[in-house]
Structure 1
Amino acid sequence: MTNTLRVATYNLGSAKHDGGAHERVLPQLELLAGLGADVVAVQAAKNFHEDGLRMVYEAERILGMRAVLVESAHDDCHLLTLVRTDRVRIINEHNEQGDPFWHAAAGLHCEIDGKLVLIGHTHLAPFSHLKRAMEAPTLKAILKGSENVIMMGDWNSAPDNHPALEGLADGKDDVTPDREMRALGLHDVGAVWGDHTPTVHWDSPKGHRANRIYTSLLPKENPRMGVIAYRVVTDQHTAAPQDAPSTSRPVVVDLSMEYAV
């Protein structure tokens, strides 16, 4: 069994959905299937709750994974977490829906390689830094009591290490969520890897890493040793965001399970 765990996060971009028809969503799911991840966190799974969860089961079929849907409080931007069942066994769920979350937060307690791991997943408020300031601390409820944590999602704001925070607009310079996660002992994998490749607004000075993966599965003395690979998937996301499959880019991380406790 490999010691490497591959995880990915991606916002489908609800503006790209053709109503309930999902013509543009299926290729995005194919893209995710090609990443070969053990865990995938999908935000803005818009309309996935409709038609008897048809698109949830379609996602399972395309990715060959088990899917868990957590419905959003607003905008139908639901959270879909997928796991590869030959590697990840779901034990139970701990989800947070409704106030203070604009969308939701999802938590899956799992067994991976004989270790208990909390897979967290969220999509913070898109426009209000005040709302995000309430959401981020509430994530503690999901993470409480878990030593091995992977927390993924769309944070709708830049990380503290963004090289040009003053150039961001619309409250995207809000580093509160990033600081909250790091205060809980979680590492921003992109920061550890030293990669500033933007996941949103990549064609403008407003570009930043809004889509991030945090984890406790790194050695404190040298966190870099626990990260085998990190990349922002740019293949199908080189055009202007409005012309790309989504206005967000996927993020893929390979983590060593050697440091799980």
Structure 2
Amino acid sequence: MSAPLIRAVSWNLLSYGKSAVSTRRGQHELLRFLRPDVVCLQEIYTVGADVAELGQLVSSIAEALGMAAFAVPARHSDCHLAILWRPEYDVLSKRAYDLLMWHGLGIVRLDVGADVPLTVAVTHLGPWNPGKQLDDAFTLTGQLPLSDAVLLGTDWNSFGADPGYDVEPDWSALPPEWTARHVRWNDDPSAPWVADRRPAQLMQRSGFHDAAPTLRVPWKATGGHHGGWGRREDIFWTTRPAALRGYQVIDTPAARQLSDHLPIVVDLDPQALDATDAGHRGRSGPTG
């Protein structure tokens, strides 16, 4: 008999902590409904990296979900991170990294009852600077070894590697103050604007796989419903593509009301976490 799948959720909660109590309760309810085994959260809001307040906020989420939790301070931002997991999973190690990352990086290695541990990580790339996003991607590839079964939940704040999946935006339809912060720099100001995909391309070339295109699911935006343009801003990266069994964006009226990001969900087969898939390295789904 096959083992149950492991369900992971990643969600940017839109400043959880200064949001209304009713919003937080709604987020708890939606997360409970999804019945996750692990959760990666972004944008838990405290001013000045107040660790005590952050701990209280994360504990309130964990208590509402009946899960264990690890709070990850974002030293250079008021928007922090957290990882949650089922309390029956044994924690093998956990660590929060600063390393001059915009929002930091949290890593928890869990015994999920598989042949190998599951390394769950969370991060949130900076919103304005593709160069900084690329720097953070270099850190991610350095701190998350391919030898581990890694699942990284992110507010990617950038583009996917493949323009055949995450198509090039119509830059002419967008305000210049947005576009200049998202396109690849060119010393020629008259050159056509092109999305800066280097952070995702670095992850892909380094052996990480973007869950949505790897599973060839139809493209769907995870942000833009509160303004801006529809983008797939949220990504699950993994070093074990053979373990992926499902991916979905939770697009419901409640989810749209509760945050400016939609939750993303992946299902993993724990029996396949030891498959290194060297033959898949550098390829994440269609090439367009």
Q: Distance in 1 between matches of 2:169 and 2:22?
A: 38
| Map of 2:244 onto structure 1 | 227
Shift of 1:124: 0.6
Structure 1: runs of 5 or more not aligned: 220-225
- 2:163 corresponds to 1:167: no
- Taking a change above 3 Å as real, the CA distance of residues 158 and 93 of structure 1, as seen in their structure-2 partners, is same
**Cα offset, 1:218, TM superposition:** 2.4
Percent identity, aligned pairs only? 25
Q: Deviations over 1:100-131 (max 9, x none)?
A: x1111111122221422211111011111111
Cα deviation code 1:68-121 (max 9, x no counterpart): 0010123321111000122x321112322141x111111112222142221111
Residue 52 to residue 183, structure 1, CA distance change in 2 (3 Å): closer
Partner secondary structure for residue 260 of structure 2: coil
Q: Quote the Cα distance in structure 1 between the aligned partners of 2:119 and 2:205.
A: 17
Deviation at 1:205, TM superposition (A): 8.1
1:210 and 2:233 aligned: yes
TM-score by length of 2: 0.77
Q: Is the 8 A contact 2:124 2:156 kept in 1?
A: yes
2:259 corresponds, among 213, 227, 246, to 246
The residue that corresponds to 2:281 in the other structure is none
CA distance in 2, matches of 1:187, 1:198: 18
- Give the corresponding residue for 1:13: 14
Superposition deviation, residue 140 in structure 1:
2.4
Give the counterpart of 2:220 among 190, 197, 202. Answer: 197
Larger Rg: 2
User: Deviation of residue 150 (structure 1)?
Assistant: 0.7
- Following superposition, the deviation at residue 252 of structure 1 comes to 0.6
Give the paired residue count. Answer: 247
Are the structure 2 counterparts of residues 151 and 58 from structure 1 closer, same or farther at C-alpha, using a change threshold of 3 Å?
same
Aligned to 1:38: 37
CA displacement, residues 139-181 of structure 1 (integer Å, 9 cap, x when unaligned): 1232136431111111101212344224353407332221122
Q: Write out per-residue CA displacement over residues 186-244 of structure 1, whole angstroms, 9 at most, x where no aligned residue.
A: 2111112333110011477831211110112223xxxxxx43221100113675xxxx2
SS in 1 for 2:93: strand
Mapping 1:1-261, distance limit 5 Å: 2-14=3-15, 18=18, 22-47=21-46, 49-51=51-53, 53-86=55-88, 88-99=89-100, 101-114=101-114, 115-144=116-145, 146-161=147-162, 162-167=165-170, 169=179, 170-171=181-182, 173-193=195-215, 194-202=217-225, 206-219=229-242, 226-236=243-253, 244-261=257-274
RMSD: 2.4
Contact 1:117 1:146 in 2 (8 A): no
